[in-house]
Structures are given as C-alpha cells and as structure tokens.
C-alpha cells in the first residue's frame, strides 16, 4: 500500500515544483523533482535528516559554505541553511536536497530568474513510499 502526505495547502499561491520522495534505501531517500507534472531531475536526501513534507518558499542566496548562488529552502521547522545542491551520496547532506551538478545549475537559474521578477517560488515536498512493515 502506498500513501501520499501533504501537510499544508499552498493557499492559492503558485507552487514552482514538487519533490516526490519515492524510495527509501538504508540511509537515503530518493525522489523525483517535477514541474507542471513534467520530470525535471532525480533527488537524493539523507533519510536521517529529512525536512518535513510541507510547502516551502524557496529563494536564491550566496551560500557561505559553497561560495556560489544556491537555492535555499526557507522556514524549515527548527532548521536553517537548508539548500538544494550537488551531491552523490547521502553523507554529502546535512539535511539538504541533493541533485546532479547540471541540475543544480538549472534549478538555481530558474529560481533566481523568478526571484528577480519578484515572484514567490514555492516547493511542495510530498512523500509517496511504502510504509515500513
């Protein structure tokens, strides 16, 4: 049996993308990033440090750790500095969403151009996985 978890409504505001968490292997959670139902890229998260499945505002700021512009997920309960950045293993994340280097560049450009047009960028994180037996 599969389930879908959405804990908050978008309150009529546009959602830029959706991250569907689809599989759980050992210490990682894989997912699929979509926009308007079109697949954009695969994602990877550290299963021990997942952010809650909610709708978040996303902006682009200079990352002090990486020294480049990166998307930042705002208002994560009890956390700060949660970003979308490149990585290939769950150990590369302290709670951030990992994507390939090319996808990091494309997502940063998309969010940055929307931010410059003063549009709110939102990301919905949804869980669709088999519950643990």
Q: What is the mean pLDDT of residues 79-100?
A: 93
Question: Among 66, 86, 89, 75, which residue's Cα sits nearest to residue 123?
Answer: 75
Q: What is the pLDDT of residue 96?
A: 95
Prediction pTM value: 0.83
SS3 call for 96: coil
Q: What is the mean pLDDT of residues 39-55?
A: 91
Q: What is the pLDDT of residue 24?
A: 80
Higher pLDDT, 97 or 132: 97
Q: What is the pLDDT of residue 86?
A: 96
Total Cβ atoms within 10 A of residue 66: 12
Tokens 């759980």 found at: 24
């Amino acid at each position: 049996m599969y389930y879908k978890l959405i804990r908050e409504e978008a309150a009529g505001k546009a959602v830029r993308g959706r991250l569907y968490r689809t599989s759980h292997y050992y210490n990682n959670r894989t997912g699929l990033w979509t926009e308007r139902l079109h697949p954009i890229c695969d994602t990877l998260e550290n299963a021990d440090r997942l952010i809650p499945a909610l709708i978040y505002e996303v902006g682009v700021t200079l990352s002090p750790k990486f020294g480049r512009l990166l998307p930042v997920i705002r208002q994560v309960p009890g956390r700060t500095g949660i970003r979308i950045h490149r990585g290939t293993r769950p150990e590369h994340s302290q709670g951030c969403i990992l994507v390939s280097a090319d996808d990091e560049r494309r997502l940063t450009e998309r969010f940055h151009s929307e931010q410059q047009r003063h549009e709110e960028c939102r990301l919905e994180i949804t869980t669709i996985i088999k519950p643990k037996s």
